[in-house]
Chains A and B, each alone.
Chain A
Amino acid sequence: MLIKLLKYEFRSTSRTFGLVYLIMMVLCTLTGLLDQASELLSAYSSIFVTLLMVTALFFFGAVVITTVLNIGRFQKGVFGDEGYLLHTLPVHVWEIIASKLIAALVWTLGTVLVMGLSLFVMILASSAISLSNVGFFFRSLIQFVSAADPTVLTQFLLSIGLMLAMLITLILQVYASISLGHLFPSHRTAWAVVIFFLLNMIQDFFFKLTVFRLTPTIYADPSGLLSFSYAFGEINMAVNELSPLTPSVFLFYLAAGALLWLCSQLVLSKRLNLE
């Protein structure tokens, strides 16, 4: 049933995301071409600058659209009118949460990927680099990866895994906030926002309490101002050895994600009140 839920989850949003991705690619291609043209004819310069600004704004807009759609799909699909259909389908609660989570994850990563791809197309279209240079870049990258220390590669993969774990936890935090906000008789959206920030504070507190305690000799922070970015700083620093922090941060987000999932699961299975 999860596959079937995913099918309708993607269908409901693919048109919007497809359009956003298409506009992003077209804008970047045009911007790149105008950059090239403005070098030949200065009259194009002002159009190029305007288009560049529009593109930058649209990139920002794409992030907003992705966030709003992902949140809306959960809020409306689970607790709105569409919930009357969703909760009467013969599916388990975990399948509902999983389908929403997977779709949100795919669309978020999709937006990031298309952004990167669009920028790449813009650079190509502007002739800042040629196709032969691109080929050279990828050949060099492959050579670098194959020659690299396996520890570095492991660290790289771990950091990718860590970023995914953080993203999944963030999405589950949004879901848990909306679900817990649903427990209130009124002003549910406002409560969801308050709960989101409360959950953030709780997570932050336990992060400092657990993760840095696990690795005190390396990461003792007298100022108490350690933040999540330390984890990434550490990953960047690691060259020849595995970061001792990455696995603990990864485990922390895994545990936090599991608890947040449990919050949504309990509300949907034990406290659902569609009014």
Chain B
Amino acid sequence: MDSFKHPVLQCRGLNKSYGRHHVIKDLDLELSPGRIVGLVGPNGAGKTTLIKLICSLLTAQSGQILIGGHPVGAGSKALVSYLPERTYLADWMKVADALELFADFYADFDREKALDMLARLSVDPKARFKTLSKGTREKVQLVLVMSRKALLYVLDEPIGGVDPAARDYILSTILTNYNEEGTILISTHLISDVETVLDEAIFLKDGQIVLHKSVDEIRQEEGKSVDELFREVFKC
């Protein structure tokens, strides 16, 4: 199956609840290739849950997810490059081990590109993860994720909790390294920082999409920036 002939992501009638708490409600979503899409919403809106469903870290109660036409499974995972909001690389690993792991499992991983990015960060590939600071670990994870030529990049709060300088580095790394035939889905609270790079924005509220438009449409139709509209829609 040629993954690039299908929408990058299709979610149909997606539902997810924790006990009685309905986190994702009948969600339908379709993403086209070559887009940078911001997934925004207040805390508890269901952003991370939706991302975990897409990355098959959670299972939905009902509904369907297709990635490049593939149902969620080993086939779809080969197409998704996921950056979680936590560090997932084991302490025993050296940076070089992580590179080897990605090269072993992902056919689209570019080791040279990763080594180049690490060199620019002055990260020694022989360093063990347990000796690296939390910030450096997160940057190494970003390097790994962005060194893939994936169909869909799913980045969960990549610039949350980092200083402005690191934010700039992270955003420039994303923008200069992603596969332009693929799509980036980026969840964030810091809309003003990413607004300039977004093609589309998805507003998520109480597990439902309340808005999914291109950034240009938002500016033309609403006469506001994405950040301004966000503040208006999610006003407390």
Bound together, the chains give a CA A92 to CA B90 distance in angstroms of 21
Using a CB-CB cutoff of 8 Å, which residues 65-85 of chain A contact chain B? 81-85
Contact partners of B97 in chain A: CB under 8 A: 11
In the docked arrangement, what's the CA distance between A88 and B58, Å?
A: 11
Closest residue on chain B to residue A185 by CB atoms: B19
Interface check B59, CB cutoff 8 A: yes
Taking CB atoms, residues of chain A closer than 8 Å to B82 are 84, 88
How many A residues face the partner with a CB closer than 8 A? 24
Chain B interface mostly helix, strand, loop or mixed?
loop
Residues of B within 8 A of A (CB-CB), count: 27
- Enumerate B100-128 residues with CB–CB distance to A below 8 Å: 101, 104-106
Contact with B along A179-197 (1 / 0, CB 8 A): 0000001000000000000
A274→B57 contact, CB < 8 A: yes
Interface of A is mostly: loop
Q: How far is the CA of A1 from the CA of B56 in the complex (A)?
A: 18
Give the shortest distance, in Å, between B151 (CB) and chain A (any CB). 12
The reply to whether B88 and A273 form a contact with Cβ atoms under 8 Å apart is: no
**Contact status of A87 and B57, CB under 8 A, knowing A12-B92, A92-B74, A274-B52:** yes
- Is B155 located at the chain interface by the 8 A CB criterion? no
Q: What residues of chain A lie closer than 8 Å to B52, measured between beta carbons? A: 274
B90–A82 CB distance below 8 A: yes
**What's the least CB distance linking A18 to chain B, in Å?**
12
Q: Do B88 and A85 touch (CB < 8 A)?
A: yes
Q: Specify which of B55, B74, B90, B92 is in contact with A91 (CB 8 Å cutoff).
A: B74
List residues of B whose CB falls within 8 A of some A CB.
18-19, 52, 55-59, 73-75, 77-78, 80, 82, 84, 86-90, 92, 97, 101, 104-106
Top 4 closest A-B pairs, CB basis?
A: A90-B78, A84-B88, A85-B88, A274-B57
What are 10 A-B residue pairs whose CB atoms fall within 8 Å in the complex? A1-B74, A82-B89, A84-B57, A88-B55, A88-B56, A90-B74, A91-B77, A91-B105, A92-B74, A273-B58
